[in-house]
Structure 1
Amino acid sequence: MQRKNSRTTAEVIRHNFIILFTCFALLTGASVVIVVGINLVHQRQTESIELLKSLNRSFIDDKPDWNQWRKNSSINTQDTYVRVTDRTHSANQPKVFYSKGTKPFLSLKQTQLSKKLHLPFFPALIYTKHYGVLYYRSGERHGRHKNIRSEIWLSLNPIVTTLASVIFVVLIILILSLVLGWFVISLVAKRLTRSLEMLQRTAREHSQSVVNIENLLPVPDSPSEVRELSTSFNELLSAIIENNKKEKAFISNASHELRTPIAAIRGHISLVKRRGKAHPEIVDRSLHFIDDESAKMQALVNGLLALSRADNGIAQPSEFDLAGIVNETVEEQRVILSQTIRTRGEKSATVHANQNSVSQILSILFDNSGKYSPAQSTITVSIKKTDTKTILSVQNQGATIDNDEKRRIFDRFYRGDPAHNSEITGNGLGLSIAYQLATLNNIQITVTDVIPHGASFNLIFNN
């Protein structure tokens, strides 16, 4: 069973070909033998009719002239046995005439084999020991002063010999064809599976190599199925490689974000140890700095945990009023943000999603708008409904986001040019968390421009 499951494609093709070809050859050979046999038996049947006719013409003085019959017959009568029964003068004591060798032939008792071969479907075919298979036919002549019954047995041994020769030739051709076909199909199968073997070999080499781990598989020109398979594998590998690069960048960025406050904290601790006793004012200033840096670390760790939960979470959606969640979040953010928050659009909109996730996404979008827009500007929240969608937009009046940055703004730890300002705090995880939560809830999140300047973050819910 293990060997059967571990066969290669070439072996499977070769095995199925052998089975198919063998069945086809056996069916063809059997058909040839049957057709030839039927034709030969039919020919023998025609010969028996001719022999009976010639036998009727050979009667002299109410008895058959065997020499004349054999001499005038155009058919070989060497293995032919004839019995003529004449009941013309007396039905109870008929005259019986036998051709040469017929009496010993008829004197043989019927064996078990002859009984089995005497099939009801072929009553004219009989088998007799030492004589082989014979064809039996009888005929009667009735008329004025005539009541003669003639029986003839024709040997089918020449037909059997011919059929045996045909079977032998068919078997020889079958064996030769199998051998030749095995080599031909092996070459064809090897050629067809050459691309698959190349893919397997290349994939194994890449999997065992550290250098080539990010290389793609070669794409053969033919066959088309293997080419499409290679293309699909390369698309999958490209996605895996891209995710691997993102994970490496994520680890590098997270390490960098954590290393900076840790280095600052350890520096102030060292400063306090060295000069704290001689200069007590340093202690308060260092403690204040350590508190700020530890708060940044805590925010970063909380963001990483939130992102991890968003990656591995399972949303439990439900029907709720989006306008109600927006109003609650707006009231909370008005206390935190210095910008003016304005709402417009639909007063009620029912959507299907996880309510806590949507509330968290809104808080992230408000926090992002508060960081990157002027303090005296306005943040506008709007809800718009169509036949198929509900769109929630959070618009700010900050800097316009370039198209290149729009494609990267949801990446982890990515911060655009305005974000590099030291006065803007953050670690670049907020929008990536919002994106993961939106994806988890089947919500599409996009970024569009606001005229004359600003950005609009849009949440698109399917109705």
Structure 2
Amino acid sequence: MKHTAASKNRFNTMVFRMNVSYILILLATVLFIGIIVSTIVSYQLYKNTKTEVRHIENLLVLTAKKKHPDWDSAINNVIYENHPNVYVHIETPDGKTIYSDGSESIRDKEHSMAQAKGFFPFLLKSDTMPVYYDRISYRHYTFKIYAKMAAVHEFMESMVRVLFFSLLAGALIGSFVIYKLSRRLSKPLTDLTSMIKSLTAENLQFNVAVPKGPAEVKDLAIAFNHLMDRLNQQVQREKDFVSDASHELRTPLAAIHGHVNLILRRGKDHPEVIERSARFINEESKRMQRLIDQLLMAAKLDQPAAAGETANLSIIAKNISEDFKPVIRQKFTSEIEEDVVAAISEDHFHSIIVSLLDNAGKYTPKDGWVRLEVRRKGEACIVSVQNSGPAIPDEEKEKIFERFYRIDKSRNSKIGGTGLGLAIVKQLVEINGGEIRVSDLEPSGCSFTVKLKAAVRQGKD
């Protein structure tokens, strides 16, 4: 079984395929050239033979015009001296048949030649010698002319030998050269395959060596290393995510466990402990619920958004603004352009706005302000959430979109939150083909700007 599999693999290699392809191409080329050359040369020789036969027919007709034709002299002196490969059968008006010397072997084939004349002007004898045949009549004379096409026969034999030995030599020499060349060309690919096969889950950070050539194998090695780097980054992100999620869940669980023990130890003697601990447990359980919900959402965002969905950002933003005005502590204003439609899911856009406003409310002082803007600019829809809170350092502007990342962990622990809000916002924006950036405001504050692809306005052409 293993031997059969190894044989199949050997026949399926690039070296074997290149050799087979080369031999087939060589065979087709040699045969094509041989057929073309043989056809052209044979046709030219055939035309020469036909001209020769026409000349002999004219001589025979001239002899037949004489009152007392001397056929023996005409045949021996005219035909044999100048046309040794031509044979003649003459049927005279008195029923006699005159044969030229040496035509006895052709005479037996006369009936079959006469039948084939209408199909092709020459036939092959048993010894493969092509014979040109023609028949004419004049004054009750019938002339049958047979011309052995020795030149065509010799040429065809030589051509077959040349083609055979050329094909044999080309196949042997060419196969050897192709084998060496294909082995040299496939060696970098073979080495690359061997290195890739040696990879295991324990050495994913291993990069394959990039060969100098061929260019395709070099590009493959570079692409593979790039893929491995991305895979390592993804694996590291997942490890960090699991570690951070475990840490975020461990903290409220430890606090809940502590308050449960406090109730068990002091609840009977101090009823106020039960009420205080119950409120704390309730808040922590809600925080855990929000964290779990956001973790599930982050997991679902690995899949691309459905194509063709659109949302009226103006309507959604106005509804969210009305809901936020009573609960937000800061001064809240909005500027929403009418009928701004973008290529995004309504649920996704709702989550983006809510998360950005919630984030702005957390980090903006009570006497500060928060502002929401929605407008269309050319082929893009711009959504901006601004606040008068503290500026974000430039080196932190990209990191704040990472899962569980916080600029000031001690300060943020008091503010609350899961550390997943902005990471989910970035994912939602990107899977809908948009982009998000954060910039500073003067004299203080920051602005989160989301750019989405505009869609056809609803209710308009």
- The alignment yields a C-alpha RMSD, in angstroms, of 4.0
Contact 1:310 1:436 in 2 (8 A): yes
The alignment covers a number of residue pairs equal to: 442
Partner of 1:89: none
Counterpart of 1:205, as a letter, is S
In the alignment, which of 172, 179, 196 is matched to residue 172 of structure 2?
179
Partner of 1:256: 247
Counterpart of 1:22, as a letter, is L
Contact 2:401 2:422 in 1 (8 A): yes
**What pairs up with 1:99-248 in 2 under 5 angstroms?**
99-102=100-103, 105-106=106-107, 110=111, 118-123=116-121, 125-127=122-124, 133-136=130-133, 151-156=144-149, 159-206=152-199, 209-248=200-239
Taking a change above 3 Å as real, the CA distance of residues 404 and 115 of structure 1, as seen in their structure-2 partners, is farther
Partner of 2:70: 63
1:354-401, CA deviations, whole angstroms, 9 ceiling, x for partnerless residues?
Answer: 334333322211221122222211112233443333322211112211
Partner of 1:342: 333
2:282, 2:172 → 1: CA distance? 85
1:133, 1:126 → 2: CA distance? 6
1:320 equivalent to 2:312? Answer yes
1:363, 1:7 → 2: CA distance? 58
1:443, 1:223 → 2: CA distance? 38
Counterpart of 2:107, as a letter, is L
Taking a change above 3 Å as real, the CA distance of residues 289 and 36 of structure 1, as seen in their structure-2 partners, is same
Distance apart, 1:71 and its partner CA:
10
In the alignment, which of 75, 82, 87 is matched to residue 81 of structure 1?
87
1:101, 1:326 → 2: CA distance? 112
1:214, 1:95 → 2: CA distance? 103
User: Is the partner of 2:437 in helix, strand or coil?
Assistant: strand
Contact 1:381 1:395 in 2 (8 A): yes
User: Is the partner of 1:29 in helix, strand or coil?
Assistant: helix
Distance apart, 1:300 and its partner CA:
1.7
Unaligned runs of 5+ in 2: 455-461
User: Is the partner of 1:374 in helix, strand or coil?
Assistant: coil
Taking a change above 3 Å as real, the CA distance of residues 304 and 103 of structure 1, as seen in their structure-2 partners, is closer
2:309, 2:373 → 1: CA distance? 22
**What pairs up with 1:12-27 in 2 under 5 angstroms?**
12-27=17-32
Distance apart, 1:257 and its partner CA:
0.9
Task: Name which of structure 1's ranges 424-433 and 309-318 shifts more when overlaid on structure 2.
Answer: 309-318
User: Is the partner of 1:453 in helix, strand or coil?
Assistant: coil
Contact 2:130 2:152 in 1 (8 A): no
Task: Name which of structure 1's ranges 251-260 and 221-230 shifts more when overlaid on structure 2.
Answer: 221-230
Distance apart, 1:432 and its partner CA:
1.5
1:347, 1:196 → 2: CA distance? 58
Contact 1:392 1:460 in 2 (8 A): yes
Contact 1:317 1:441 in 2 (8 A): no
Partner of 1:363: 354
1:12-38, CA deviations, whole angstroms, 9 ceiling, x for partnerless residues?
Answer: 433333332221111112223333433
Identity %: 29
Partner of 1:34: 39
Task: Name which of structure 1's ranges 406-415 and 301-310 shifts more when overlaid on structure 2.
Answer: 301-310
User: Is the partner of 2:88 in helix, strand or coil?
Assistant: strand
Distance apart, 1:186 and its partner CA:
2.8
2:44, 2:105 → 1: CA distance? 30
Length-normalised TM-score, structure 1: 0.78
Partner of 2:377: 386
User: Is the partner of 1:256 in helix, strand or coil?
Assistant: helix
Length-normalised TM-score, structure 2: 0.79
Contact 1:413 1:429 in 2 (8 A): yes
Taking a change above 3 Å as real, the CA distance of residues 304 and 314 of structure 1, as seen in their structure-2 partners, is same
